Amino acid sequence: MKADNVFHQGLLALGVLLAFTAPVHAANNPANGQKVFAEECSECHSAKQGKNKKGPSLFGVAGLAAARTPDFEYSDAMKKSGLVWSSDKLDRYLTNPKSLVPGGKMKYDGLDNADSRSDLIAYLLTLK
């Protein structure tokens, strides 16, 4: 009986711990992500299909292999990166582009706020 009680107390403690441990990407708010895009990305990137700026259009970027947007001249580093833009890779890149793709053309230093990155990625996922 005592072992059962200890086991159940352990499960309860684990449940409480999990309930108060926020996941890395807790936000996931595409509407806020659109605002983040406007503030942080839109000077160089478009969210419209086929409309490149200084940087490539980010329309449909989620799930796309890196350096595949038509009519944009990518750096050799990005072409050779072998990246596929999953949520995880987008998060790593948006945190610090130069560390994930050394020698890339991206001039942006990164977005420190994890919730803003999560929201931005949620927005990028809607661009289909």
**Tens of pLDDT along 28-85?**
999 999 999 999 999 999 999 999 999 999 999 999 999 999 999 999 999 999 999 9
Q: Are 111 and 94 in contact (CB under 8 A)?
A: yes
pLDDT tier for residue 2 given thresholds of 50, 70 and 90:
low
H helices present in 20-104, as ranges: 30-40, 76-79, 87-95, 97-100
The amino acid at residue 75 is S
Q: In this structure, which amino acid lies at residue 9?
A: Q
Give 26's contacts (C-beta < 8 A, 6+ positions apart): 115, 118
Mean pLDDT of all residues belonging to the chain: 86
Distance CA 7, CA 26 (A): 30
Q: What is the pLDDT of residue 7?
A: 39
Q: Is the pLDDT of residue 93 over 90?
A: yes
Domains in the chain (CATH in brackets) are 27-126 (1.10.760.10)
Q: How far is CA 80 from CA 13, 55, 75, in A?
A: 47, 17, 9
Q: Please check the confidence at residue 25 and state whether its pLDDT lies above 60.
A: no
- Cα–chain-centroid distance for residue 103? 20
